[in-house]
Amino acid sequence: DLGERMLAAFRRHCPAVPLLLIGTDCPALGSSHLREAARALLRGDDAVFVPADDGGYVLVGLREPHAELFDDVHWSTGSVMSETRARARAAGLTVNELATLWDLDVPRDLDRLSPPDAEALGVARG
């Protein structure tokens, strides 16, 4: 499942280096978000997230793997981020949350794309 795949990535790369994982469905996520998230981890935060306005998240960064953040999560629901927050608190992790963004999950989300973004993705407008 998604949690297993994400945990495997963190196990492979951490703790040698902190790791940021991003979704591919958030055109609003830019390089400034990635730099800010990386800085949070390099400053010593255990975890960093960019929440999604639908209740999930579009970025997770960790200094080391934490299975409890990914095991038995009800993915693709509006409770993912709140569940993750509770799990991180219970594990005693220091968490940095950046500004909430939106992602593309359903066809109506395409209306949020700016005209240049929509054109680049081949989305018909109008």
**Nearest partner of 64 among 41, 87, 84, judged by Cα:** 41
Query: pLDDT-based confidence at 122, cuts 50/70/90?
Result: low
Average pLDDT, the chain: 89
What whole-number distance in Å separates Cα of residue 48 and Cα of residue 96?
5
38 touches 21 (CB < 8 A): no
DSSP string, 60-94: EEESS--GGGTTT--TTSTTHHHHHHHHHHHTT--
**Among the listed ranges 13-17, 32-36, 90-94, which one has the minimum average pLDDT value?**
13-17
Tokens of 94: 């220091």
Q: What is the mean pLDDT of residues 97-111?
A: 82
Q: Is the pLDDT of residue 104 over 90?
A: no
Query: pLDDT-based confidence at 103, cuts 50/70/90?
Result: confident
Q: What is the pTM of this model?
A: 0.86
**Nearest partner of 103 among 28, 26, 24, judged by Cα:** 26
Beta strand segments in 24-102, E = 47-51, 57-62, 95-97
27 touches 117 (CB < 8 A): yes
